[in-house]
Amino acid sequence: MRHPHLAAIDAAAWPGLADVPTGRLISMRARMAEAAFARACAQAGLDPDPAGKADLVVEYDTLFHRVAVSGWLGLAEGYMAGEWHSERLTDILEAFIRVGYRPRPGRPGKVLPAGRYGGGELPTELVRLSSGDGLSAFAGVFASGVPTTVRTAVSSHVPGHSRDRGRATYFVDKTTFSAPVDVDRGDLGDAQERTVMRLLDAARVTGGTHLLEYPGSGGAVAIAAAHRRATVDTLTADPEHARAVGEQLMLAGVDASVHTAIIERPVPGPRDWRGSYDAIVSVERLEVLDEHDRVPYIRALDRLLTIGGFIAMQSAVATETMTPTARAALDPLRAYVWPGLDYPTITDIHKLVDRESGLRITGETHLGSHQQRSLAMQRSLFDGQMREAAAAGFDIAFRRLWAYQFALREALYRLGMLDTVQFTLTHRDRRGRR
């Protein structure tokens, strides 16, 4: 028998939400989960008492059945099912992660195959509802941020060398932007456009450049590159995404300069796509790839870049302060949105590039504070268009999920556990390696 408060949940679409875990053992564990939740609230200074000025309100104790079974995934599913809520969702998640709240996970919850809503290439209508420019899901670079650049020596991670001998040293220009000031939602579109321009500048895109955009990012990069009189190929494994981007290119009047191609796999192998490009732009792909796809990904960038060309690759990265609690908190995003989500560190990326390709990282631009503000604005935009989201076919459970993922990622940026970095890469051997 379904609980009455779950009547609005589509059981076929959300099997993990429609049924509450039951059983004598689960009921015992739920009481323990409730006690642990109360302790975490007290430790974080949160008031869950609805009789007072509550920071969060638990409407149904079925939440603790979910938490007892699935940990952080159960906490998110409880939010998606309307079993708890807060007007300060980002603050709540930040506080739980800060105090190390880590509910004991039991068996995983019942979910549909991960990535049901795009798995890395999000529906264009969803992006439109939460973006400043109507096209972009990525962070903006706000005009009030001031960049500071230093040149730093980095030791390479070339296989076959001993720990202390044989490592080459190279230099990386590291740029950090100060936090934006006096910005509001109206600034997000301009900031996202500025992100695109920085990526194109890093990849040295000018008139006559043959540019590969992989994966497609909604059309903003391709349109801006075409306006620079570049020729653009944009790759996607999602036919619906390709169709929507094609419409945007036509509306912008640049469809003759941009070729959108559909590839069969998320990472193109030599048989999937061939070419030689002066520049490549890749935005927020690496962190959502399964671990076994990361080596083919970086090798594909190496293979497709012509000698003397440049790559601009933007990625969210884990910092040295990332905790096991924070990684566990990402379980809902892996379950329902990005199945391969696992934020690498900057060192991980350097090792991947050095060991698996002929490329070298020559520049890093750190944008964490700008990503944090962007996420807050994106969530605010989405919250303000809930009716439009419903009309576009996103049901109540998904709308709550989308608000939750914005809040969770913003919390991790606030805590300094995530950063967003634009990497510039080129071949370390100017003669190339094929």
Report the pLDDT value the prediction gives residue 165, as an integer from 0 to 100.
47
**Whether residues 213 and 248 fall in one domain:** yes
Task: Tell me, yes or no, whether 418 lies in a domain.
Answer: yes
**Whether residues 139 and 241 fall in one domain:** yes
Least confident of 152-166, 202-216, 302-316, 410-424: 152-166
pLDDT digits (tens, 9 = 90+) for 227-284: 999 999 999 988 988 999 999 999 999 989 999 999 888 899 888 899 999 999 999 9
Sign of the torsion formed by the C-alpha atoms of 81, 318, 288 and 233: positive
**Whether residues 189 and 269 fall in one domain:** yes
Q: Of the candidates 63, 98, 133, which is a domain's last residue?
A: 98
**Whether residues 246 and 144 fall in one domain:** yes
Report the pLDDT value the prediction gives residue 114, as an integer from 0 to 100.
46
Of the two residues 166 and 310, the one the predictor is more confident about is 310
* CATH code where residue 343 lies: 3.40.50.150
**Whether residues 382 and 308 fall in one domain:** yes
**Whether residues 83 and 160 fall in one domain:** no
**Whether residues 93 and 129 fall in one domain:** no
pLDDT band at residue 117 under the 50/70/90 scheme? very low
Question: What is the mean predicted confidence (pLDDT) over 198-204?
Answer: 98
Number of neighbouring beta carbons within 10 Å of residue 286: 25
Number of residues written out for the chain: 434
What's the one-letter identity of residue 317?
V
Question: What is the mean predicted confidence (pLDDT) over 404-420?
Answer: 98
Task: Tell me, yes or no, whether 115 lies in a domain.
Answer: no
Report the pLDDT value the prediction gives residue 301, as an integer from 0 to 100.
97
pLDDT digits (tens, 9 = 90+) for 119-152: 457 888 999 999 999 999 999 999 999 999 999 9
Question: What is the mean predicted confidence (pLDDT) over 43-64?
Answer: 89
Interhelix angle 62-70/24-44, rounded to 10 degrees, is 90
Question: What is the mean predicted confidence (pLDDT) over 334-352?
Answer: 94
Task: Tell me, yes or no, whether 107 lies in a domain.
Answer: no
C-alpha of 193 from chain center: 18
Residue 396 has pLDDT above 70, yes or no: yes
Report the pLDDT value the prediction gives residue 107, as an integer from 0 to 100.
56
Cis peptide preceding 215, ω within 30 of 0:
yes
Question: What is the mean predicted confidence (pLDDT) over 222-228?
Answer: 96
**Please, what is the average pLDDT of the chain?**
91
* Helix H or strand E encompassing 335: helix 331-336
- List b or e across 71-110, with b for residues whose CB sees 16 or more CB atoms inside 10 angstroms: bbbbbbbbbbbbbbebeebbbbbbbbbbbebbbebbeebe
**Whether residues 217 and 300 fall in one domain:** yes
Task: Tell me, yes or no, whether 118 lies in a domain.
Answer: no
Residue 153 has pLDDT above 50, yes or no: yes
Report the pLDDT value the prediction gives residue 410, as an integer from 0 to 100.
98
Report the pLDDT value the prediction gives residue 160, as an integer from 0 to 100.
53
pTM of this structure: 0.93
Task: Tell me, yes or no, whether 434 lies in a domain.
Answer: no
Q: Of the candidates 60, 80, 98, which is a domain's last residue?
A: 98
Decide: 188 and 129 in contact? Cβ < 8 Å: no
Residue 108 has pLDDT above 60, yes or no: no
Q: Please state the domain count of the chain.
A: 2
Task: Tell me, yes or no, whether 315 lies in a domain.
Answer: yes
Question: What is the mean predicted confidence (pLDDT) over 355-370?
Answer: 96
**Whether residues 240 and 334 fall in one domain:** yes
pLDDT band at residue 89 under the 50/70/90 scheme? very high
C-alpha to C-alpha distance for 410 and 413, rounded to whole angstroms: 5
C-alpha to C-alpha distance for 102 and 40, rounded to whole angstroms: 9
Residue 291 has pLDDT above 90, yes or no: no
pLDDT band at residue 155 under the 50/70/90 scheme? confident
Residue 161 has pLDDT above 60, yes or no: no
**Whether residues 157 and 11 fall in one domain:** no
Task: Tell me, yes or no, whether 111 lies in a domain.
Answer: no
Question: What is the mean predicted confidence (pLDDT) over 74-83?
Answer: 96
Least confident of 19-33, 193-207, 305-319: 19-33
Percentage of residues in the chain having pLDDT higher than 90: 79
Question: What is the mean predicted confidence (pLDDT) over 35-57?
Answer: 89
Percentage of residues in the chain having pLDDT higher than 70: 92
**Whether residues 179 and 79 fall in one domain:** no
Residue 425 has pLDDT above 90, yes or no: yes
Residue 330 has pLDDT above 60, yes or no: yes
Residue 190 has pLDDT above 60, yes or no: yes
Task: Tell me, yes or no, whether 345 lies in a domain.
Answer: yes
Report the pLDDT value the prediction gives residue 118, as an integer from 0 to 100.
39
Range of the domain at 25: 4-98
pLDDT band at residue 162 under the 50/70/90 scheme? very low
Report the pLDDT value the prediction gives residue 352, as an integer from 0 to 100.
96
C-alpha to C-alpha distance for 327 and 329, rounded to whole angstroms: 5
Report the pLDDT value the prediction gives residue 365, as an integer from 0 to 100.
97
Q: Of the candidates 64, 98, 132, which is a domain's last residue?
A: 98
C-alpha to C-alpha distance for 56 and 59, rounded to whole angstroms: 10
**Whether residues 287 and 354 fall in one domain:** yes
